[in-house]
């Protein structure tokens, strides 16, 4: 699982996400870069680090038509580093599809682990905020949502589960009347508001996505009633690029 296989040779867009809780800035560094690799494929790199030690997660993902086709994940904390590799399995020359099997490989306490998840209507989602725009666009076109496969980071103390595939059901709907949602018009033109339902911690979440399928904001209440907010900052976007999907 060599991350050197996924390196940017050109950059088309970059930015960062700023986190706040009840209006107070939080010590989270969440930045991303989108560009091309040496083979001309679309490559998206995102890092989310917390605190002075720089512990957190890095994802390098190849994308095609807004779908993640291959991703490498690195988790680093005070205990150790754990890595994983996920990919959508497709035959040569066949377009990537949400009906493809997803192969997962991750390092656990007992060595390298493997799993293949079959079935239909499954999206590969590598956790980071920058991947949410394309995910929400896909989900909003599915009346009943679909299953999403993501690396497990729910409880990092359970090293046997860390970065192992976790399947959950997600739904998203466009909010038709967003006039009463505070601050939505400050996020830029052509922003759509999505209600997002998934894991326990994502209930009553509102996501803001612009016409490029770019997540520009995300609001969700914690289980203790605190309001967490994420906002896109310092965006640089090449005119060569039309959208994420």
39-48 tens-digit pLDDT = 999 999 999 9
| Residue 172 within a domain | yes
pLDDT in tens, 9-46: 999 999 999 999 999 999 999 999 999 999 999 999 99
Q: Tell me the C-alpha distance between 104 and 72, whole Å.
A: 10
Number of domains in the chain: 1
Q: Residues 102-111: what's their mean pLDDT?
A: 92
Strand partners, 117: 102
Residue at 242 is within a domain: no
For 92-153, the DSSP string reads TTSPP-TTS-EEEEEEETTEEEEEEE-SSSEEE--S-GGGHHHHHHHHHTSTT-EEEEEE--
pLDDT of amino acid 217: 96
Look at residue 152 and tell me whether its pLDDT is greater than 80: yes
* Residue 119 in this model has a pLDDT that exceeds 80: no
The answer to whether residue 244 sits within a structural domain is no
Q: Which of 37, 179, 161, 66 is nearest to 107 (CA)?
A: 161
Q: Which of 190, 202, 198, 197 is nearest to 230 (CA)?
A: 202
pLDDT tier at 182, thresholds 50, 70, 90: low
pLDDT, average across residues 88-114:
88
How many angstroms from the chain centroid is the CA of residue 151?
A: 10
Cβ atoms of 234 and 216 within 8 Å: the answer is no
Contact between residue 190 and residue 130 where contact means Cβ atoms under 8 Å apart: no
Residue 223 lies in a domain: yes
Q: What is the pLDDT of residue 53?
A: 82
Residue 2 pLDDT greater than 70, yes or no:
no
Mean pLDDT for all residues in the chain: 90
Supply the range of the domain harboring residue 63.
Answer: 3-237
Q: Flag whether 52 is in a domain.
A: yes
Q: Is pLDDT above 50 for 1?
A: no
Output the CA torsion sign for 15, 227, 191, 140: positive
Q: Is residue 128 in some structural domain? A: yes
pLDDT at 50 over 70: yes
Indicate the pLDDT class of residue 4, thresholds 50, 70 and 90. Answer: low
- Residues 188-241: pLDDT tens digits? 888 999 999 876 556 678 999 999 999 999 999 988 889 999 999 999 999 999
């Amino acid at each position: 699982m060599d991350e050197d296989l996924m390196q940017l040779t050109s950059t088309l867009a970059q930015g960062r996400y700023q986190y706040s809780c009840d209006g107070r800035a939080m010590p989270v560094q969440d930045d991303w870069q989108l560009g091309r690799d040496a083979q001309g494929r679309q490559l998206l790199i995102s890092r989310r680090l917390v605190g002075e030690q720089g512990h957190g997660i890095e994802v390098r993902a190849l994308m095609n038509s807004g779908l993640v086709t291959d991703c490498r994940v690195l988790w680093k904390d005070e205990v150790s580093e754990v890595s994983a590799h996920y990919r959508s399995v497709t035959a040569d020359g066949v377009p990537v599809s949400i009906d493809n099997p997803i192969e997962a490989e991750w390092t656990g306490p007992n060595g390298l682990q493997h799993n293949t998840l079959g079935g239909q209507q499954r999206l590969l989602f590598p956790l980071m905020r920058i991947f949410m725009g394309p995910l929400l666009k896909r989900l909003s076109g599915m009346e009943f949502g679909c299953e999403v496969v993501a690396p497990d980071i729910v409880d990092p103390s359970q090293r046997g589960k860390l970065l192992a595939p976790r399947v959950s059901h997600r739904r998203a709907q466009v909010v038709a009347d967003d006039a009463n949602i505070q601050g939505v018009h400050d996020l830029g033109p052509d922003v759509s508001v999505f209600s997002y339902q998934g894991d326990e911690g994502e209930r009553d979440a509102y996501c803001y996505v612009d016409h490029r399928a770019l997540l520009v904001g995300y609001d969700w209440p914690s289980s203790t009633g605190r309001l967490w907010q994420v906002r896109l900052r310092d965006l640089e976007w090449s005119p060569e690029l039309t959208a994420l999907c």
